[in-house]
A and B are shown apart, each in its own frame.
Chain A
Amino acid sequence: MAKDINILLIDDSDVDNFINKAIISKEDNISQITTMTSGSEALNYLNTNIHNTEALPDVIFLDIKMPGMNGFEFLDEYIKLPHTLINHCKVYILSSSIDSLDTEKGKNYPVIKKHLTKPLAHHSIGDILNED
């Protein structure tokens, strides 16, 4: 029996956060879905819960284009976090950009598990969540 999954959504669009949360919540084994509307907010959240393994997300869906701190800038800070945290989380880019430059740039961040293009419903969420 797979462990329940804790999910963090980072997207500046409340609408998208709402949709993605709704779609993911249809899946089994989801214990918690947290939404953040900016990179800095998400960093704060992670830093606060750094020792609280229960609260830490197993999967992060990250948008790229956000006002203030964008997705890559978030990752620049994220990788400075303790290894225990980084190893715990799987990071997926979930963006509406199909720009190959973004994909290329993403290759510089080994922590990125995969680059997904919105809408999330076009992807098999079950497969993603059960990936190792």
Chain B
Amino acid sequence: MINKGLWTGEVPLKNFKTDTITPLEFYGFLIKDETTDEPIAIGSIGFDLTERKKNQKEILELQSKMNAAIRIGKIGYWDFDISTQSFVCSPLMYSIYDIEPDQLLTIPLLESLIHPDDVEKHRKNVREIILEKSSHAFSYRITVKDGSIKYVMVDIEVLRDSEDKAINFRGTVIDITKQKEADFEILDLQSKMNAAIRIGNIGYWNWDMSDDNIEWSKEMYAIHDVEPGTKITPDLIREIIYHKDLGILDRKLAEKKGQGISAPNNYRIKLKDNSLRYLLSFSEIIYDDNDKPIIYRGTTMDVTKNIQSELALKESQEKFSKAFQTNLMGMLILDGKRRVIEANEMAYTILETSKKKLIGKTVMDSKEVKIDEIERDRLWGKLQEDGEILNEEYKIELKSGVKKTLIMSIAQLQLKDKINYLVNIYDDSKRKEAENRLETQFHELQKTNSELDSFVYSASHELRAPLSSVLGLIQLIQMEDIDPKLFQHLNMMEKSIERLDDFIKDIIEYSRNKHLALNLETIDFTTLIEHSIESLWYLENTHKINININVEDNIDFASDCKRISVLLNNFISNAIKYHDTNKKDPTIWILVKTTSQEAILVIKDNGLGMANSQLDKIFDMFYRVSSKVMGSGIGLFIAKEVLFKLKGTVDVQSKIGEGTTFTLKIPNQIS
């Protein structure tokens, strides 16, 4: 030791003043004569280890999992003077950092040893401690000579001067590599054990987050319906997980150390056939010392069957409870002894009773309803034999004396492993009542309808007969040699009566269109048009207008002949009445073309024409374009109604002074 000139040791010394034992580490060295180089004295620096021992305890508490035996031998002590930037280290420091005992420890040397990823953290911790902290413990990695990584835990304390300026650091260093390794090993072992325990459909996966290398056990491939051996990437995983459940993965990945939610996750994946599979996953994230997640791993199992049966159960329960509370039918659930254990509101309404009076008793015992016992036994026997009763008529008498006919169905219902009966009752008396009422109403309506028809028929004759007589008389008088003034007045009288007569005709046509069903036959357009023009012979304008008819009806067209003729009469008479006979060549063109789909009727004139603002209104009831022309304003309204009945359409183009074109399209009803 003398030869070496340097030695160290740890000894407890007694403090003479306080009389307490103080743990001390000493650092001995030879003092040599400067000229002779002979040893002349022994020098020693002693370190008070009290503080260190205290730290040691704290660390022990902090790292309860650590093996104390391993640790104690590996605690190094150091002291750093900020003004001189020099370290004084206990011998163990050299072995921990794996440097030669005579090497001078400096900040650059220390930083060269620290794992590159941890240098910045180290600096930051030191800076923080200089500024504001008095003590701090943290860990970082160092790389030793042989290239292996050691984990060290540092505990620093700061000495400050009167101005609170840091002047000195000191602290301890512990090698916790073994402990770390043990931790990893234990975790690894645990997962392997877990994996071993979870047999069957449980997959194990390991996602190394530093290089996104993902390992899947073969069960994982099977669970996810992915070809075994497929390279698994985070992108692929995102693709597999059902898009609505990606949030679960994102939340898990965003977890910070310590806030890990230990609850297992339920999520869905979408298979190739677009069906969903429900998975249950237990997972954990491993963090490095910088609290950066490095590994994400866990187990996954297929719980689709469980989930599906749960869903199905929930759904059928819901359906049942909804169906049970329907107000269309009375429903009762009876137990094996025919006691009512549940009933819905409708059942109480039908039986005119209440929950209180019925539940727990048989319907018979409740005395709420009188039942024919023979009938009851017959149906009960049938139920036992067939297993169900379907829509049987069942006559009952209520307490109030009201007799009802029920339509009853009974089916067996398994509830909590016991046979129960679900009884549906439907108050048929009400239905019969409604049926009768409906029938009466129908007959009344039919009567009203036929009365209306008969009224219209009578009106058509009784109203028209005297009018036509008057018209005949007027014409008769006009044939005589009379005063021109009288002739004029009779003319006006005739016009007024004709207007009234036309109106009556229109009303009759409207009523007929409403009430009579379609009567389909092949339409002879040429004859219909000729009849129509003939019937308009009496109109003053008729003889002054050229009527140009072109019918192409080679393809048979079927529709309601009477209605088609109403349409033709309306449009042709309008074309005549609203013509401008002062024009050079007053003409009406009537064009018909039939196809297998429809008939196109065009009634075109070069008459007065209409403004655009009028076109919207001409089909309205009682709308009249001009007061100069006699009319009731109901003609085109009827035409529209008739077209509606024939499922046809009408289009109108018009220009004032140039004329009007009506284009009708009527579907061909030929069979």
Quick check: A98 and B505 within 8 Å, CB to CB?
A: yes
Chain B, 477-522, CB within 8 A of any chain A CB: 479, 505, 508-509, 512, 516
Which one of B457, B467, B468, B476 has the highest number of Cβ atoms from chain A below 10 Å of its Cβ? Answer: B468
User: Is B461 an interface residue when CB atoms closer than 8 A count as contact?
Assistant: yes
For A121, what are the chain B residues with a Cβ–Cβ distance below 8 Å?
A: 471-472, 475, 538
Compute how far the CA of A78 lies from the CA of B398 in the bound complex, rounded to whole angstroms.
69
Quick check: A124 and B537 within 8 Å, CB to CB?
A: yes
For A35, what are the chain B residues with a Cβ–Cβ distance below 8 Å?
A: none
Quick check: B469 and A15 within 8 Å, CB to CB?
A: yes
User: Is A80 an interface residue when CB atoms closer than 8 A count as contact?
Assistant: no
Quick check: A96 and B468 within 8 Å, CB to CB?
A: yes
Compute how far the CA of A96 lies from the CA of B534 in the bound complex, rounded to whole angstroms.
17
Which listed residue (B457, B472, B534, B537) contacts A16, Cβ 8 A? B472
User: Is A88 an interface residue when CB atoms closer than 8 A count as contact?
Assistant: no
User: Is A32 an interface residue when CB atoms closer than 8 A count as contact?
Assistant: no
For B472, what are the chain A residues with a Cβ–Cβ distance below 8 Å?
A: 16, 19-20, 23, 118-121
For B168, what are the chain A residues with a Cβ–Cβ distance below 8 Å?
A: none
Quick check: B461 and A97 within 8 Å, CB to CB?
A: yes
Compute how far the CA of A97 lies from the CA of B465 in the bound complex, rounded to whole angstroms.
8
For B395, what are the chain A residues with a Cβ–Cβ distance below 8 Å?
A: none
Shortest CB-to-CB span from B371 to chain A, Å, is 58
Compute how far the CA of A119 lies from the CA of B562 in the bound complex, rounded to whole angstroms.
21
For A26, what are the chain B residues with a Cβ–Cβ distance below 8 Å?
A: 479
When C-beta atoms are compared, the residue in chain A nearest to B562 turns out to be A100
Compute how far the CA of A79 lies from the CA of B505 in the bound complex, rounded to whole angstroms.
31
For A23, what are the chain B residues with a Cβ–Cβ distance below 8 Å?
A: 472, 475-476, 479
Q: How many residues of A are counted as interface, with CB atoms below 8 angstroms from the partner's CB atoms?
A: 24
Quick check: B469 and A19 within 8 Å, CB to CB?
A: yes
Compute how far the CA of A121 lies from the CA of B537 in the bound complex, rounded to whole angstroms.
10
Chain A 105-128 per-residue mask, 1 if CB under 8 angstroms from chain B, else 0:
000000000000111111110000
For A122, what are the chain B residues with a Cβ–Cβ distance below 8 Å?
A: 471, 535, 537-538
Quick check: A97 and B464 within 8 Å, CB to CB?
A: yes
Shortest CB-to-CB span from A46 to chain B, Å, is 25
When C-beta atoms are compared, the residue in chain A nearest to B458 turns out to be A65
Chain B 430-473 per-residue mask, 1 if CB under 8 angstroms from chain A, else 0:
00000000000000000000000000010011001101110111
Compute how far the CA of A95 lies from the CA of B468 in the bound complex, rounded to whole angstroms.
10
User: Is A101 an interface residue when CB atoms closer than 8 A count as contact?
Assistant: yes
**A119-B460 in contact given A98-B505, A98-B508, A100-B562 (Cβ < 8 Å):** no
Shortest CB-to-CB span from B342 to chain A, Å, is 62
User: Is A86 an interface residue when CB atoms closer than 8 A count as contact?
Assistant: no
When C-beta atoms are compared, the residue in chain B nearest to A64 turns out to be B461
Which one of A65, A99, A122 has the highest number of Cβ atoms from chain B below 10 Å of its Cβ? Answer: A122
For A119, what are the chain B residues with a Cβ–Cβ distance below 8 Å?
A: 468-469, 471-472, 475
Quick check: B562 and A65 within 8 Å, CB to CB?
A: no
Which listed residue (B461, B467, B473, B512) contacts A19, Cβ 8 A? B473
Quick check: B508 and A99 within 8 Å, CB to CB?
A: yes
User: Is A22 an interface residue when CB atoms closer than 8 A count as contact?
Assistant: yes
Compute how far the CA of A19 lies from the CA of B465 in the bound complex, rounded to whole angstroms.
13
Shortest CB-to-CB span from A103 to chain B, Å, is 8
Shortest CB-to-CB span from B209 to chain A, Å, is 90
For A20, what are the chain B residues with a Cβ–Cβ distance below 8 Å?
A: 472
Quick check: A118 and B460 within 8 Å, CB to CB?
A: no
Quick check: A13 and B476 within 8 Å, CB to CB?
A: no
For B471, what are the chain A residues with a Cβ–Cβ distance below 8 Å?
A: 118-119, 121-122
For B535, what are the chain A residues with a Cβ–Cβ distance below 8 Å?
A: 117, 122
Compute how far the CA of A65 lies from the CA of B458 in the bound complex, rounded to whole angstroms.
10
Quick check: A98 and B473 within 8 Å, CB to CB?
A: no
**A19-B476 in contact given A13-B469, A122-B537, A122-B538 (Cβ < 8 Å):** yes
Compute how far the CA of A94 lies from the CA of B464 in the bound complex, rounded to whole angstroms.
13
Shortest CB-to-CB span from B418 to chain A, Å, is 71
When C-beta atoms are compared, the residue in chain A nearest to B497 turns out to be A119
Compute how far the CA of A15 lies from the CA of B470 in the bound complex, rounded to whole angstroms.
9
**A123-B473 in contact given A99-B457, A99-B508, A118-B468 (Cβ < 8 Å):** no
When C-beta atoms are compared, the residue in chain A nearest to B537 turns out to be A124
When C-beta atoms are compared, the residue in chain B nearest to A97 turns out to be B461
Chain A, 48-94, CB within 8 A of any chain B CB: 65
Chain B, 510-545, CB within 8 A of any chain A CB: 512, 516, 534-535, 537-538
Compute how far the CA of A100 lies from the CA of B562 in the bound complex, rounded to whole angstroms.
7
Which one of A22, A98, A124 has the highest number of Cβ atoms from chain B below 10 Å of its Cβ? Answer: A98
**A100-B537 in contact given A13-B469, A26-B479 (Cβ < 8 Å):** no
Compute how far the CA of A117 lies from the CA of B537 in the bound complex, rounded to whole angstroms.
12
For B537, what are the chain A residues with a Cβ–Cβ distance below 8 Å?
A: 122-124
Compute how far the CA of A96 lies from the CA of B462 in the bound complex, rounded to whole angstroms.
8
For A96, what are the chain B residues with a Cβ–Cβ distance below 8 Å?
A: 460-461, 464-465, 467-468
When C-beta atoms are compared, the residue in chain A nearest to B563 turns out to be A100
Compute how far the CA of A122 lies from the CA of B498 in the bound complex, rounded to whole angstroms.
11
Quick check: B457 and A101 within 8 Å, CB to CB?
A: yes
For A22, what are the chain B residues with a Cβ–Cβ distance below 8 Å?
A: 476, 479
Shortest CB-to-CB span from B491 to chain A, Å, is 13
Told that A22-B479, A121-B471 touch, could you supply 16 new A-B pairs with CB distance under 8 A? Answer: A13-B465, A16-B465, A23-B475, A23-B476, A23-B479, A95-B461, A96-B467, A97-B461, A97-B464, A99-B461, A101-B457, A118-B469, A121-B538, A122-B471, A123-B534, A124-B537
Give the 4 A-B residue pairs with the shortest CB-CB distance, closest first: A19-B472, A118-B468, A96-B464, A122-B538
A interface list, Cβ under 8 A from B:
13, 15-16, 19-20, 22-23, 26, 65, 95-101, 117-124
* Contact sample, A vs B, 6 pairs, CB 8 Å cutoff: A19-B472, A65-B465, A96-B464, A96-B467, A96-B468, A99-B508
